[in-house]
Amino acid sequence: MKNLDCLLIGYTGNNLELEKSRILAVSQKPLNIENPFNLAIAYLGTLLDKLNISFQYIVSFEDDQKELIKKMQSHKFKAIAISTTFCINIDCVRNMVKIIRNIDSNVKIIIGGYFIAARIKQLDELERKILFKKIGADIYINSFYGESTLGEIILALKSGGDLNKIDNIYYKDKNKYHTKEAISDEYNIKNYNINWSLFEDKLGTYVPIRTSVSCPFSCNFCIYSQNTGKHRQLDILQVEDELKQLKRIGKTKIINFTDSTFNVPMNRYKELLRMLIRNKFEFKWHSFARCQYLDEEAVSLMKESGCQAVHLGFESGNQEMLNVMNKSAKIQDYIRGHSLLKKYNIMTTGLFFIGFPGETLSTVKDTVNFINNIRPDYYFIQPWIYDHSTSIANQAEKYELKGSMYNWSHKTMNSELAIKLAAQLPKIIKSSTMRNMDTTYFYQLLNAGFTANELKEIEEKLNEIKYKDIIVDEDILNYFK
C-alpha cells in the first residue's frame, strides 16, 4: 500500500446517470455527456503541488465512488479533504464522511468549501460544535478561500505540528472541537493560477474557468459579496495562460466562465474578449452577464470570440422591485442589452424569482410581460428564499417580513403564493421555454450534434413531464392573460 499525503474529493451537485435517463426518455439521439471537471479540485491540487504535498483526487463523489474505494484500498492517505462548494444540505456532507469512515475509520477527514464556511458563519459556537459532531469529520476550514489553509493543515499532519497554530479552522482533539479566532481572508487571486497539466488524465470537453472572485455589487437578496469580500480579478495574461494550457492538452471544447459578474468592468471584459480572438482559441463558451452594461462592440466581440450563450440575472421585470433589490439596473437597459444579444444570435436564459418584499401580483405580471416582450430563448423562475444573512433582513420591520428560507411572509405576499405562482407560470408563459436541463449537460449536447431547435424540443418535453400534474388556477390564468 502506497503512502500519500492527501486525497481530494469533489462534490458536483449533479446526477449524471439520472440526467441521462431523463433526456433519453424524450430523445432517441445518442448522448455523450460527462460531469465537468471540479474547479475546487483544480485550485486545491495546484496549491498542494506547489507545496510538494502528494495527492490524488476524485472529481465527483456522486459518480466516482468505485474509484474512491479503489484509491483508498490501494493507498494510505494522511488526510482526505472534501470540498462542499456545491453541497446544498448537511446530509450530503454527512453521507460522504460516513462512506469514507466505512472504508477507513482512522483517516483524518477535512471539510472545506463555500457551503460549510457559510453554515459556520450562520451559527453560534454551540450550534457549530453540534453540527461538527453530527457530520463527524476531524477538521473544518472556516474560510471562503481555503486553499492555503488546507496546505497548512496537511503540512502540520505530516510533521506532527500543532493545529492550534493554524488560523480559521475547527479541529477535533480528544473528542472535543477546538478553534483559533477567525481572521479575515487575505486572498490574492493572482497567486492562484491553475496548473491544468496536473489533471490532464481527467479533463474532458467541458471545463470551468474562474477569472475573478466575489462580486462588485451588493444586491439585497444575495450574501455572496458579503461572504467573499472585495471583487478581485486575474490579470488577462493569467487567464490567457490557463486557456493556452487547455488548448495544448487538447481535450477541452467548451469553457464555462464561472464569474458571478463576468462583464464588469467593461474595459477589462473587452480586453479579455480581444485576447480570446487574438489567440484564435476554438473554444465555445458561456457565462453569466449583466446585459445592462453591454454595448454593440462588446456583443460583437463576444460572438467573434466563441460565445454561444449567456445567463442573465434579471430577477424581475418590474423597476420598483429592482430598486428594492438594489440591482443597479434599469428595465430599458435590460431590453437594450438583450436586443443586442439577439441581434448577434447569442442564446439567452433569463433568471427570475418571485416573492421578494414588495412583490405583488401586479409586479409578477410585469415580469411575465417583460419575458413576453424580450422573448429570451429560455427562462428560469423560482420562489424567493429568505436568508436572514442577506441585507433585506435589516428591513424586516418595514416590510413586516417574517419566517425564513422557504417559509416566509411579508405585507404583500407569502411563500405559499410565490411557490404556487412559480409552479403555474411555466404553463402560462408561451413566449419562452422554462430551462429544465442541467446547464453543463445542455451545452455539451449543443456542441455534440444537437441543434438549438432539438434542445428546445427536449426542454419542452421535459417541462411537459415536470408540470403535467400542475393545474393552473383559473383566477391566476385570467389575471395573467
Q: pLDDT-derived band of residue 14, with 50, 70 and 90 as boundaries? A: confident
pLDDT of residue 187: 81
User: In whole numbers, what is the pLDDT of the chain averaged over residues?
Assistant: 94
Give the tens place of pLDDT for each residue, 388-409: 999 999 999 999 999 999 999 9
In terms of residue numbers, what domain contains 125? 2-179
Residue 186 lies in a domain: no
The verdict on 259 and 361 lying in the same domain is: yes
**Per residue in 92-131, is it b (16+ CB within 10 Å) or e — as a string?**
bbeebbeebeeeeeebbbbbbbbbbbbbbeeeeeeebbeb
Residue 176: pLDDT band by 50, 70, 90 thresholds? confident
Same domain, 297 and 357: yes
Residue 196: its pLDDT value, please?
Answer: 98
Q: Alpha carbon of 61 to those of 81, 109, 416: distances in Å?
A: 12, 14, 35
Q: Indicate if the pLDDT at residue 192 is higher than 80.
A: yes
| 306 within a domain of the structure (yes/no) | yes
Listed ranges 32-41, 350-359, 429-438; the one with the highest mean pLDDT: 350-359
Specify if 187 maps to a domain: no
- Give mean pLDDT, residues 438-452: 93
Quick check: 206 pLDDT over 90?
yes
Residues 137, 61 contacting (CB under 8 angstroms) = no
Residues 175 and 315 in one domain: no
Mark whether 386 and 474 lie in a shared domain.
yes
Residues whose CB is less than 8 angstroms from the CB of residue 323 and which lie 6 or more positions away in sequence, other chains included: none
Give the pLDDT score at 185. 63
Do 241 and 100 lie in one domain? The reply is no
pLDDT tens-digit readout, 68-106: 999 999 999 999 999 999 898 999 999 999 999 999 999
Task: Specify whether 213 is located in the same domain as 160.
Answer: no
| pLDDT bracket for residue 459 (50, 70, 90) | very high
Same domain, 254 and 376: yes
Average pLDDT, stretch 298-322?
98
Residue 253 confidence class, pLDDT cut points 50, 70, 90: very high
Residue 181's pLDDT is what? 65
Residue 223 and residue 265 in one domain: yes
22: CATH: 3.40.50.2300
Q: Above 80 in pLDDT, residue 424? A: yes
Which pLDDT value is given to residue 183?
Answer: 67
| pTM across the whole model | 0.94
Same domain, 269 and 307: yes
**110 to 30, 149, 381, 468, 471: CA distances (angstroms):** 39, 11, 36, 43, 47
Residue 13 confidence (pLDDT)? 86
Same domain, 131 and 220: no
How far is Cα 45 from Cα 49, in angstroms, rounded to an integer?
6
Percentage of the chain surpassing pLDDT 90? 83
Residue 196 located in a structural domain: no
99 and 241 together in one domain:
no
Residue 21, Cβ density class (10 Å: 0-12 exposed, 13-18 middle, ≥19 buried): exposed
Which of 129, 162, 179 is where one domain is finished?
179
pLDDT of residue 28: 85
Residue 194 lies in a domain: no
Find the CATH number of the domain harbouring 432. 3.80.30.20
- Residue 182 pLDDT exceeds 70: no
Report the number of distinct structural domains present in the chain. Answer: 2
DSSP state of 395: G
Burial environment of residue 60 by CB neighbours within 10 A (0 to 12, 13 to 18, 19 or more): buried
Where would I find the beta strands (DSSP E) of 55-107?
55-58, 75-83
Question: Is position 335 within any domain?
Answer: yes
Dist. CA 310–CA 368, nearest whole Å: 20
- The residue-averaged pLDDT of 194-209 equals 96
The answer to whether residue 190 sits within a structural domain is no
Under 8 Å between Cβ of 195 and 243: no
The answer to whether residue 191 is domain-embedded is: no
pLDDT of residue 290: 97
Q: Are residues 175 and 208 in the same domain?
A: no
